[in-house]
Amino acid sequence: MDCRIRMKTIIKAVRPPPTGEEAKALEEQDVEDTVARTGLYILRNAGGRAQEALRSIIVSQNLLHTTDIHVVHHLGCGMANNSEEGLRETLLRELAPSEDDMVTRSITMHQLAQYQFLPIRSDICIHRAADSVFNDMELLRNHPLIKRGTNIRGWLYENIHLDPRQHSMRPVEGIPRSSSGPAPNCIEDMCERKHSGQDCRPCHANCPSPR
């Protein structure tokens, strides 16, 4: 299938769930129907992290004979710009407000400690948002239960909060990692703040200097 057509199919499949009657109709569709309609086995989770999806990916490879894995993170994600500890503190405040008794808070803290919440990197600059995609791709390529020779690609889903006709997918292979040194072009060209019409100077202090 032509790459552009395939990406349109992926965008349609991973687009945020609609509301109202259309959402109700989608709730009644199972995974097999999604595969039949799109040819894609879609795994969703908070932040789009591969580690959380590993069990399903392994099952998909061995029972559905999956040969290609596409890791898709979207810009403007609510999981961005958080640390593991920061997410735990936020969840603790939501699940056990300070006025709750100490026993309840202690139990909640213990339960939260059983999970890794896997926050993603800052999504302000595109090259930083891509880091989490690169990390997930490396996890899959090096995992002993992921079949050798699997085609693993990474994408950033852009403009997700705009009109669906403006949604697009950017391959991460052309984006430099923030840890690999300066970006090849002017950093401003890769700043999501600038793309959305905002002042991108506040994030320059955290960006590699342009060559």
Same structural domain for residues 51 and 100?
Answer: no
Domain extent at residue 98: 83-118
Same structural domain for residues 145 and 187?
Answer: yes
Distance CA(134)–CA(30), nearest Å, equals 30
Same structural domain for residues 113 and 48?
Answer: no
CATH of the domain at 57: 3.40.1050
Distance CA(24)–CA(42), nearest Å, equals 18
Record the pTM. Answer: 0.63
Closest alpha carbon to 70 in 171, 165, 143: 171
The pLDDT value recorded for residue 4 is: 42
Same structural domain for residues 55 and 159?
Answer: yes
Domain tally, the chain: 2
Same structural domain for residues 15 and 49?
Answer: yes
Same structural domain for residues 53 and 135?
Answer: yes
Same structural domain for residues 16 and 50?
Answer: yes
Same structural domain for residues 49 and 132?
Answer: yes
Per-residue confidence of the chain (211 residues) as pLDDT tens digits? Answer: 344 445 555 555 555 544 544 434 433 344 445 555 566 788 888 778 888 889 999 999 998 888 999 998 887 776 666 677 777 888 888 888 776 678 888 888 888 887 777 666 554 556 577 888 899 999 999 999 999 999 999 998 887 777 877 888 888 887 877 655 444 344 444 454 554 555 555 554 454 443 3
Same structural domain for residues 75 and 158?
Answer: yes
The pLDDT value recorded for residue 5 is: 41
Residue at 97 is within a domain: yes
Same structural domain for residues 71 and 12?
Answer: yes
Distance CA(47)–CA(132), nearest Å, equals 9
Distance CA(124)–CA(122), nearest Å, equals 6
74 is in an annotated binding site: yes
**Residue 25: which region, alpha, beta or left (left: phi > 0; alpha: psi -120 to 50)?**
alpha
Same structural domain for residues 64 and 38?
Answer: yes
Distance CA(197)–CA(194), nearest Å, equals 5
